[in-house]
Structure 1
Amino acid sequence: MIKNVSSENVQNHLSTHENTGLEPSRRFCVAPMMDWTTPHYRYLARLLSQHTLLYTEMVTTGALIHGDTERFLRHDPAEYPLALQLGGSDAGELAHCARLAEQFGFSEVNLNVGCPSDRVQNNMIGACLMGHPDKVAEAVRAMIEATRLPVTVKHRIGINGRESWEDLCEFVEKVAAAGCRTFIVHARIAILEGLSPKENRDVPPLKYAWVYRLKQKYPHLEIIINGGIKTFEECNEHLKHTDGVMLGREAYHNPWLLAGVDSEFFGAKPPAKTRHSALRAMYPFIQSELERGVFLGHMSRHFLGLFHGMPGGRQFRRYISENAHKPGAGLEVIQVALEKVPES
């Protein structure tokens, strides 16, 4: 049974900020990453860049329909623009969850067709769907009919057994015919048997040229490139051939990278002047989360890379790692850790 969500609770959740309703720019995005792109990471990311498009962790349709919907969709509207990534394959369930995405104020709803985990494969979620382009097209069509939000698809360039250029084109053409105009392409195949999800992020070779060819072949589609991108120099090279770039692990482990995005790619003034000022700006949010019952360690693990490569950065990480998990740990742990990094 598909349940309804209290409109009063949704309105309370959206009381401080408004979604502009404009389709977000995908020129620079941070990838959805399980256990990493949580609301606490995203809040920091937004303090560093106002223009980067952020994505939630993948949320399955089953979790939203049968679980605690409001907990899974909870976010601070200060995170906008923010896309919700869904995992699922049933067209009716995905349509329902797309409506929820709009109801909760997200900027975009994205379908995961790239996760290679065995656990999601068994539920017909993620990269295995690349072997079923008609099913993906059916789901996308239902989602588009259910919401005014842009509906996008994140996928691989193939899977083992369906890894030819022709297979990729068939997938893109069928999904585009269903109404999807934005494809976020991880430039590797996924090997569904024999490799772990971590190995699937490194072992299959990157084929950026295939993503470039997609843009050449389908110039009317928006093509965003993803996979192994680490530097602005690489981003600018990819942007010569595609419409946008999506970074994952580098943006998480070295979040200060995001502080240069607004000036580099959007011609805008950076919102954060220093790492110290960015973290201090998080204090009210951290305190409010602590008062809500969130453990400090659940938040602070997402800040550990903020002083990556900086003098005192190792001491900052060590102090938080050794103290944030202790019973009653509060904002003072972050304040003391911050004092270990010279401010200049």
Structure 2
Amino acid sequence: MTEKVELKKLNYSVNLNAAKGFVKPRFAAAPMMEWTDRHCRAFHRQLTRHALLYTEMVTTGAVIHGDREYLLGFSDIEHPVACQLGGSDPQDMAEAARIVAEFGYDEVNINVGCPSDRVQSGRFGACLMEEPALVAACVEAMKAAVDIPVTVKCRIGVDEQDPEVALDTMADAVFAAGADALWVHARKAWLKGLSPKENRDIPPLDYERVLRLKQRLPDRFIGLNGGLQTLDQAEPFLETLDGLMFGRAAYHTPQIMGEVDRRLYGASGPDITPWDAVKAHMPYLEAQLTNGVKLAHMTRHMLGLFHGRPGARSWRRILTVEAIKPGAGLEVVEKALAAVSPAGADLAAAE
């Protein structure tokens, strides 16, 4: 009851209109620390033209005071691309959002889901599930500062919270403040007793809770995250929900994204194959090598591309072993690709 009283005091006006330029993403690749960097996103873009790609979470302090080009720089080929911010001070969130918008991002997202100790000590991430009024204040400040969509990614609750109350309260607060979308990781986060890794697997998934939220708020964008492994499993949720967000499955088996444009966006033409994606990615790799980027920093995101296909182990081995060698260049990728092409059938069969 206390939370509801505090939220009424905020006296936000409900805005049913999405931000100018907001395009509802039917598929998004989740923000993942140390994984979804600019090289990962550039690679994923070779597999899908329409999916929304997210950055790793960056803190407001880093954005405001740090090396912005290093933290926020990205290639034009990545669009549509969203930046996820970690923070809880409305003024800082607004300033960081302005910087993100000036860099050309298509969306800015608030992290209300990360369960790590470092994030909790900074008063952001999943612990903010206990402070919906503060999250709403951040949304309101950011909406006043930028024209790009402002979205939120949260859990269904934390620790002893009742997910029925906690998720409804958070959703009502951020939408009343003007949020354009809410992505829900359909698990609780246990901040007391579970590690961040355990929080990705141990708390049970509750997709029905997210479906109930959407049924209560049919005019709002509600997206689903958590435990989604295949499009066959996930696509039926789009009969009720607005979007699907894949995390580890998209990273470890990125060939999933080669089907997204056709299946979820109605694109004509064949799916983008892993071979197509690698060939299309070569100019990017070459340009980055010329700029001094190490090959391994880019190819580490490509290791799972041929998962389940003949030659996949050779692909991974060649990239893992040879990409780290001094002076490694495109010839390493070409060699690895040959191991999973018809020309490399003998090598693949020998595995």
Q: Deviations for 1:205-245, whole angstroms, at most 9, x for unmatched residues?
A: 00000000001111121100111011112222211221111
Q: Which residue of 2 aligns with 1:246?
A: 245
Q: Is contact 1:49–1:271 with CA below 8 Å preserved after alignment?
A: no
Q: Is contact 2:48–2:272 with CA below 8 Å preserved after alignment?
A: no
Counterpart residue type for residue 233 of structure 1: D
Q: Which residue of 1 aligns with 2:9?
A: none
Q: Which residue of 1 aligns with 2:182?
A: 183
Secondary structure class of the residue paired with 1:57: strand
Q: Distance in 1 between matches of 2:104 and 2:129?
A: 29
Q: Which residue of 1 aligns with 2:233?
A: 234
Q: Deviations for 1:295-317, whole angstroms, at most 9, x for unmatched residues?
A: 11111100101111111110110
Listed as ranges, the gaps of 5+ residues in structure 2 are 1-19, 344-351
Structure 2 counterparts to residues 184-223 of structure 1, below 5 A: 184-223=183-222
Q: How far 1:266 sits from its partner (Å)? A: 1.0
Q: Distance in 2 between matches of 1:318 and 1:44?
A: 19
Secondary structure class of the residue paired with 2:239: coil
Q: Which residue of 2 aligns with 1:325?
A: 324
Q: Distance in 2 between matches of 1:165 and 1:90?
A: 26
Deviation larger for 44-53 or 265-274: 265-274
Q: Deviations for 1:100-140, whole angstroms, at most 9, x for unmatched residues?
A: 12111111100000000001110011000111111111111
TM-aligned CA distance change 1:91 to 1:228, over 3 Å:
same
Q: Deviations for 1:34-63, whole angstroms, at most 9, x for unmatched residues?
A: 111111111121111111111111111111
Q: Distance in 2 between matches of 1:117 and 1:170?
A: 23
Q: Which residue of 1 aligns with 2:104?
A: 105
Q: Distance in 2 between matches of 1:168 and 1:342?
A: 48
Q: How far 1:25 sits from its partner (Å)? A: 2.7
Q: Which residue of 1 aligns with 2:313?
A: 314
Listed as ranges, the gaps of 5+ residues in structure 1 are 1-20
Q: How far 1:22 sits from its partner (Å)? A: 3.0
Q: Which residue of 2 aligns with 1:334?
A: 333
Structure 2 counterparts to residues 261-300 of structure 1, below 5 A: 261-269=260-268, 273-300=272-299
TM-aligned CA distance change 1:105 to 1:163, over 3 Å:
same
Q: Is contact 1:24–1:53 with CA below 8 Å preserved after alignment?
A: no
Secondary structure class of the residue paired with 2:74: coil
Q: Is contact 1:24–1:107 with CA below 8 Å preserved after alignment?
A: no
Q: Distance in 2 between matches of 1:120 and 1:337?
A: 38
Q: How many residues align?
A: 324
Q: Which residue of 2 aligns with 1:51?
A: 50
TM-aligned CA distance change 1:270 to 1:326, over 3 Å:
farther
Q: Distance in 1 between matches of 2:183 and 2:272?
A: 31
**Matching of residue 140 in structure 1 with residue 142 in structure 2:** no
Q: How far 1:181 sits from its partner (Å)? A: 3.4
Deviation larger for 227-236 or 74-83: 227-236
Counterpart residue type for residue 323 of structure 1: E
Q: Distance in 1 between matches of 2:148 and 2:87?
A: 18
Using the size of structure 1 for normalisation, the TM-score is 0.91
Q: Is contact 1:24–1:81 with CA below 8 Å preserved after alignment?
A: no
Q: Which residue of 1 aligns with 2:347?
A: none
Q: Deviations for 1:4-39, whole angstroms, at most 9, x for unmatched residues?
A: xxxxxxxxxxxxxxxxx8323311111111111111
Q: Is contact 2:255–2:273 with CA below 8 Å preserved after alignment?
A: no
Q: Is contact 2:57–2:83 with CA below 8 Å preserved after alignment?
A: yes
Counterpart residue type for residue 158 of structure 1: G
Q: How far 1:80 sits from its partner (Å)? A: 0.4
**Matching of residue 93 in structure 1 with residue 104 in structure 2:** no
TM-aligned CA distance change 1:310 to 1:50, over 3 Å:
same
Q: Distance in 2 between matches of 1:28 and 1:69?
A: 27
| Identity among equivalent pairs (%) | 50
Secondary structure class of the residue paired with 1:168: helix
Counterpart residue type for residue 241 of structure 2: T
Q: Distance in 1 between matches of 2:175 and 2:153?
A: 13
Q: Distance in 2 between matches of 1:225 and 1:37?
A: 19
Q: Which residue of 1 aligns with 2:127?
A: 128
Q: Which residue of 1 aligns with 2:149?
A: 150
**Matching of residue 75 in structure 1 with residue 111 in structure 2:** no
Q: Distance in 2 between matches of 1:274 and 1:219?
A: 36
Secondary structure class of the residue paired with 1:224: strand
Q: Distance in 2 between matches of 1:259 and 1:243?
A: 20
Secondary structure class of the residue paired with 2:302: coil
Q: Which residue of 2 aligns with 1:160?
A: 159
Secondary structure class of the residue paired with 2:229: coil
Q: Is contact 2:45–2:78 with CA below 8 Å preserved after alignment?
A: yes
Q: Distance in 2 between matches of 1:74 and 1:272?
A: 29
